[in-house]
Chains A and B, each alone.
Chain A
Amino acid sequence: MIDVKGLSFAYRRHTPTLMDVSFQLGPGDILSILGPNGCGKTTLLKSILGFLPINPKTVFINSHPVESYPRSFLAKILAYVPQFHGGVFPFKVLDMVMMGRTARRKWGGFDRQDIQKAHQALERVGISSLANQTFTELSGGQKQLVIIARALAQSSQFILMDEPTSGLDLSNQTMVLRTMKRLHETEGLTFLMTTHHPEQALYLGGQVLMMRAGRVVSLGAARLLTTAAAVEDLYGLEAGLLESMGLVPACLGNA
């Protein structure tokens, strides 16, 4: 269980990025964090992952404060799919996925079980054929699937994804979202995802947390909360603008 209790955070004094954010995420759930640029979505994700120096006892992972976990132990509970991949070297896809097993080993390299887990992760995401290809030569969508496979190889309870479809074309976005939905439905995986796209939150189902200026605006079932009016309000648009521009996806209009 991820339990966020009154989390506030500021990169600079007097300009808080997060203010009194609270929510819970249990095993097997999906939570999409929706909101405009700069509303604190990524900061919230990084706070949960323990990347930022947050106030103690504001984020609990399985009932213990996140700051109390050693890094290697936390990696067994939380896996992370970043918005941008930071590597510059042309690793093989299998090597990249195998890195998900880093926290499982204390010394030396990886063993047969790690290799098996990495192959299984590639299979679960449906990209076994890419195992021996070079990561840097893949398409954006394939790269994202490899990073998701790495998160699966980590065998963690929760997978946290920062705008997993950012910068991808429609076909690659669909590929990533369908994979997430399949993994959630067939294997019961838990996802916490930030996104700019309300239709993605609706497609994945589960819960949605809407944020604006560092605060939680609403939290509840995605199919109930994600309406055209709520989205217009969240992004500060005129009422009815989406509909007048023909930009209301069928799902939003019907909600």
Chain B
Amino acid sequence: MNKRFILILSLVFLASLILVIPVGRYPVSALEIVSSLWERFFVPNPSLRAEEVSYLFLSVRLPRILAAILVGSSLSLSGAVYQSIFRNPLVSPGILGVLAGASTGAAVGIVVFSSWVMTQLLSLVGGICGVTLSLTLSRLYPRSPLLALLVGGLVSSSFFSAVTSLFKYLADTDNQLPELVYWLMGTLSRATGTQLSWVAPLMVLGVLYLTLCGRVVNALSLGDEEAMSLGVDSRRERLKLIGLATMICSLSVVIAGIINWVGLVIPHVVRLIIGPNNLTLLPASAILGALFVLLTDTLTRSFWTAEFPLGIFTSLICLPLFAVSLWKAGLDHD
């Protein structure tokens, strides 16, 4: 059942990929894209139309599709990893303070440095600071580590949200404030090939490595002592997994700003369908997360005259999904 689900999900993902490539404001079919690329690279003196279509695909559509896949898989996979190793299905990159920390980093980048490179670097640093603060606060109350983690995450998120608000207040209202607000709503419209060239390799490696860690994540989901007795160096492995999950999450903020709910809801939905075994849960979460963001982004950029921020739509769609998954989990429990 589980392997079949991953296979079906992969086929749906590939089909969706082929279907969304031609979708956009500039109408062009998948066949024309392929023929234009062929002409552009293998035929001397390609036509103007072929040049145009190739440029459109390589510079606009391909980076955006790749960005959607990377952001969706990273957020969903890191959510699944966090939930398992913290043994709490309510944990997500948003709740652990990663997204709030990354937002603060980005706010500093936009307001203080007015530079996209600094914005991206600082959002990565901010994400790491966010999760570090959550974990540090959770250690202050060792009697109930899971509750302490949630409270630590909430406090960390609130702290970084406050700092972000401070920077919004200080921002120049003509340029910096709209830029910051729009970016925090979550959008893939700024994804470029240059940006992806340094972010994508790290994210791909992180995602691939984490999807192969299901066996260790399963053991860690039983708690430290059981994991150690099963042969897992729990302290080292957990640190490594949190580090990698935080890295890919923060890099997703670098590309797209804040995309809420994906990291919480998608692993829930997958767990509901195929169960909690991380050997299949992790790859399935990565594929479904990628598919979800890819389709939602296509919706936001194609079906209205104005482009809506992606983050708004992921929240609008994920909320009912989360309610349904909770309701279904409740039914199963009864």
Which positions in A face B, CB cutoff 8 Å? 46, 49-51, 70-76, 78-80, 82, 85-92, 95, 99-100, 102-103, 105, 107-110, 154
The 8 Å CB contact of B223, one of A71, A86, A108, is: A86
Contacts A/B (CB < 8 Å), 20 sampled: A50-B228, A70-B233, A73-B231, A75-B231, A76-B231, A78-B229, A85-B222, A86-B222, A86-B226, A87-B87, A88-B88, A88-B221, A89-B87, A89-B221, A90-B276, A95-B275, A102-B215, A105-B215, A108-B215, A109-B215
CA distance A75 to B229 in the complex (A): 6
Known: A90-B275, A90-B276, A102-B215. A71 touches B232 (CB 8 A): yes
Among all A-B residue pairs, the 10 with the closest Cβ atoms: A103-B231, A86-B223, A75-B231, A80-B229, A89-B276, A72-B231, A102-B230, A71-B233, A87-B222, A109-B279
By size class, the interface of chain B is 20 to 34
Most chain A CB atoms below 10 A, which of B89, B222, B233: B222
Number of A-B contacts (CB under 8 A): 87
Q: Does B214 contact A (CB under 8 A)?
A: yes
Q: Does B76 contact A (CB under 8 A)?
A: no
Instruction: Mark B261-283 against chain A: 1 for CB-CB distance below 8 A, else 0.
Output: 00000000001000111010000
Shortest CB-to-CB span from B280 to chain A, Å, is 9
Q: List the A side residues contacting B87 at CB < 8 Å.
A: 86-89
Q: List the A side residues contacting B89 at CB < 8 Å.
A: 88-89
Q: Does B212 contact A (CB under 8 A)?
A: yes
A51 touches B230 (CB 8 A): no
Instruction: Mark B207-250 against chain A: 1 for CB-CB distance below 8 A, else 0.
Output: 00000101110110111011011111100000000000000000
Q: List the B side residues contacting A51 at CB < 8 Å.
A: 225, 228
CA distance A108 to B275 in the complex (A): 18
Q: List the B side residues contacting A95 at CB < 8 Å.
A: 218, 275, 277
Question: In chain B between 143 and 180, which residues have their CB closer than 8 angstroms to a CB of chain A?
Answer: none
CA distance A85 to B230 in the complex (A): 13
Q: Does B134 contact A (CB under 8 A)?
A: no
Q: List the B side residues contacting A154 at CB < 8 Å.
A: 230
Shortest CB-to-CB span from B310 to chain A, Å, is 30
Q: Does B189 contact A (CB under 8 A)?
A: no
Shortest CB-to-CB span from B330 to chain A, Å, is 13
Q: List the B side residues contacting A49 at CB < 8 Å.
A: 225, 228-229
B231 touches A92 (CB 8 A): no
Chain B residue nearest in CB terms to A95: B277
CA distance A52 to B88 in the complex (A): 25
B212 touches A74 (CB 8 A): no
Shortest CB-to-CB span from A68 to chain B, Å, is 14
Q: List the B side residues contacting A109 at CB < 8 Å.
A: 214-215, 279
A91 touches B228 (CB 8 A): no
Q: List the B side residues contacting A105 at CB < 8 Å.
A: 215
Q: List the A side residues contacting B314 at CB < 8 Å.
A: none
Q: Does B104 contact A (CB under 8 A)?
A: no
B225 touches A99 (CB 8 A): no
Q: Does B285 contact A (CB under 8 A)?
A: no
CA distance A99 to B219 in the complex (A): 7
Q: List the A side residues contacting B221 at CB < 8 Å.
A: 87-89
Q: List the B side residues contacting A46 at CB < 8 Å.
A: 225
Q: Does B84 contact A (CB under 8 A)?
A: yes
CA distance A25 to B222 in the complex (A): 28
A92 touches B229 (CB 8 A): no
The 8 Å CB contact of A92, one of B215, B226, B277, is: B277
B228 touches A99 (CB 8 A): no
A85 touches B231 (CB 8 A): no
CA distance A122 to B39 in the complex (A): 62
CA distance A99 to B220 in the complex (A): 11
